[in-house]
Amino acid sequence: MISQNQGSKSKVMDWVTDAVFYQIFPDRFENGDTKNDPPNVEQWGNVPKSNNFFGGDLQGIVNKLPYLKDLGINTMYLNPIFAASTNHKYNASDYLKIDSAFGTNELFKTFVQKCHRSNIRIVIDGVFNHVGTAHWAFADVKEKGVDSKYFSWFNIFSLPVSSPSKPNYECWWGYGSLPKLMAQNPEVKTYLFEVAKYWTELGIDGWRLDVPNEVPHNFWKEWCSLVKSINPDCYIVGELWEDASPWLRGDEFDATMNYKFRDACVKFFTQDKTTPSQFDADLARTRALYPAEANFAMQNLLGSHDTERYFTLCKKTLWRMKLSVFFQMTYVGAPMVYYGDEIGMEGGKDPDCRRTMIWDERKWNKELHLFYKQLIHLRNSSEVLRRGEFRIVQTDDEHETLIYERSLKNQSAYIILSKNKRTRNITLPLSATPKQMRDGVTKEQLSFTGDKVILQVKAHSGRLLFVNY
């Protein structure tokens, strides 16, 4: 069952529980306005490198809103959009300005409005641990040294400030291109609070916070309090790869990007390193770490801009990908789709996982795209799949089968996932004698005897049943 942490001050926001996230790396999604292309923009579809650009922008995303709506997406997470010199924008030069390659601040306002009219919410990336060397405050320090009024914003070891190749200042993981901000400095705090206020008041629906574990807790408590005072339903999710419980006590973040979920899925579905019972144990340990509210608000991802493409990890084995998606869309928490995963895009580690989106439908995996669409719409139309309590019904290691239940009010959804190589008949024990039972995918009414039902489950596949009591 879901952990119930009585010490939590957080609450489940309905819209987050109902969310299906779609992560977009803006430079690589769609070029909607060639007039704002950066210099030396490359042809769409070329090999991605750490330092090349393809011209994707906000207008391109706007142009593809019908595609996202058709897929069933209702929430969008954007990698950084602030002014920066790189294609990834994690080295901000100005937090209060949209990067010129993506558009303008005015266009972003329009962008938010158009997304909201399409019933799509917007979560943006907040990178507040560090800036780029071109940031106006760091540039001033580099020019003026101790005479700069921003000198205390950074931890400078010696003067003059050296080049990024041999940094003599504190930076993120030793990367001289990313000087670290001293978040405990009152002036830095005031500045970053102004940034949070500006974009939250503009109408965004959430913040994804980059490497928040490298920023003090007291900063986040105050920062989050400010954001929630502007919009109590603003979603705050941290990029925390390990145990995130210190940040999920109700006074900092609502949830994390659930990399522990991804790790468990990779080991079970793609690598066959765990059995169904071990897979269950891995997930149960993660759920037990967090309050129920956080578990329902987790971003459950299979891949991101920081990982290999999941379909690549599956070695393009379709059934492994489909079973993983089946689980992702029916598990507790909010699923997040990394752009292009739904059409079978491939890619290794960064930067290969950041290839340009493929818009030529002839190159799509049509079966996978249809499967994603079907499962997303099924989740969107089924309250029990979004908000139901979670319970493991059966783990069968011998036959590589997992059965679990989502229950809400007088309805249950039973999900059977089989990695078995053969079609099998499975006896499903029910909580009680049902009034009605139907196949969740085909909508076929099913017969049953008492509190049990015998179901045929095909090799390497899953089944979903809706049961009314």
Residue 436, domain member (yes or no): yes
In this structure, the answer to whether residues 343 and 418 fall within a common structural domain is no
In this structure, the answer to whether residues 99 and 210 fall within a common structural domain is yes
Question: Edge-to-edge strands of the sheet including 206-209?
Answer: 255-256, 235-238, 206-209, 121-126, 75-78, 21-24, 334-338, 299-301
Report, as residue numbers or ranges, the catalytic residues: 210, 239
- Taking residues 422-445, report their average pLDDT: 92
Domain end, chosen from 340, 361, 381, is at 381
185 exposure class (CB count in 10 Å sphere: 0-12, 13-18, 19+): middle
How many structural domains comprise the chain? 2
Range of the domain at 245: 14-129+183-381
- Taking residues 86-110, report their average pLDDT: 98
Residue 342, domain member (yes or no): yes
CATH of the domain at 370: 3.20.20.80
Calculate ∠ Cα 362-74-84, nearest 5°: 80
In this structure, the answer to whether residues 433 and 332 fall within a common structural domain is no
Domain end, chosen from 381, 404, 435, is at 381
In this structure, the answer to whether residues 393 and 264 fall within a common structural domain is no
**Rounded to whole angstroms, how far apart are CA atoms 103 and 207?**
20
Residue 435, domain member (yes or no): yes
Question: Which pLDDT score, from 0 to 100, does residue 12 have?
Answer: 74
**Rounded to whole angstroms, how far apart are CA atoms 32 and 133?**
29
Tokens of 42: 């490359």
What tens digit of pLDDT does each residue of 342-370 get? 999 999 999 999 999 999 999 999 999 99
Q: Is the pLDDT of residue 8 over 80?
A: no
Question: Which pLDDT score, from 0 to 100, does residue 170 have?
Answer: 98
Nearest to 344 by CA among 319, 376, 321, 320: 321
Question: In sequence order, what are the beta bridge partners of 336?
Answer: 21, 301
Question: Which pLDDT score, from 0 to 100, does residue 52 have?
Answer: 97
- CA 401 to each of CA 1, 104, 249, 323: distance values in angstroms, whole numbers, following the listed order: 19, 51, 35, 11
Length of the chain: 469
Residue 141, domain member (yes or no): no
CB within 8 Å of 194: residues ≥ 6 apart: 96
- Taking residues 171-186, report their average pLDDT: 97
Tokens of 313: 């990890």
Contact 340, 312 (CB under 8 A): no
Q: Is the pLDDT of residue 201 over 50?
A: yes
Residue 99, domain member (yes or no): yes
Q: Is the pLDDT of residue 6 over 70?
A: no
Q: How many CA atoms lie within 13 A of 387 on its CB side?
A: 15
Local confidence band at 448 (pLDDT 50, 70, 90 cut-offs): confident
Tokens of 139: 């540039």
Contact 303, 309 (CB under 8 A): yes
In this structure, the answer to whether residues 279 and 351 fall within a common structural domain is yes
Local confidence band at 2 (pLDDT 50, 70, 90 cut-offs): very low
What does the mean pLDDT of the chain come to?
A: 96
Domain end, chosen from 381, 413, 448, is at 381
Q: Is the pLDDT of residue 173 over 70?
A: yes
What is the Cα 83 distance to its own chain's centre?
Answer: 22
In this structure, the answer to whether residues 403 and 370 fall within a common structural domain is no
Question: Which pLDDT score, from 0 to 100, does residue 306 have?
Answer: 98
- Taking residues 152-170, report their average pLDDT: 96
Top-confidence residue, 149 or 6: 149
Local confidence band at 74 (pLDDT 50, 70, 90 cut-offs): very high
Local confidence band at 188 (pLDDT 50, 70, 90 cut-offs): very high
In this structure, the answer to whether residues 363 and 330 fall within a common structural domain is yes
In this structure, the answer to whether residues 402 and 259 fall within a common structural domain is no
Residue 446, domain member (yes or no): yes
Q: Is the pLDDT of residue 415 over 70?
A: yes
Number of Cβ within 10 Å of residue 293's Cβ equals 23
Residue 164, domain member (yes or no): no
In this structure, the answer to whether residues 219 and 77 fall within a common structural domain is yes
In this structure, the answer to whether residues 267 and 393 fall within a common structural domain is no
What tens digit of pLDDT does each residue of 378-408 get? 999 999 999 999 999 999 999 999 999 999 9
* Block residue for tokens 């941290």: 238
- CA 238 to each of CA 25, 125, 150, 151, 308: distance values in angstroms, whole numbers, following the listed order: 17, 10, 27, 28, 20
CATH of the domain at 443: 2.60.40.1180
Residue 54, domain member (yes or no): yes
Question: In sequence order, what are the beta bridge partners of 405?
Answer: 391, 414
Question: Which pLDDT score, from 0 to 100, does residue 235 have?
Answer: 98
Indicate left, alpha or beta for 164 from its phi (over 0: left) and psi (-120 to 50: alpha): alpha
In this structure, the answer to whether residues 323 and 420 fall within a common structural domain is no
Contact 93, 132 (CB under 8 A): yes
**Rounded to whole angstroms, how far apart are CA atoms 221 and 62?**
34
Local confidence band at 10 (pLDDT 50, 70, 90 cut-offs): low
In this structure, the answer to whether residues 377 and 391 fall within a common structural domain is no
Number of Cβ within 10 Å of residue 167's Cβ equals 19
Top-confidence residue, 267 or 14: 267
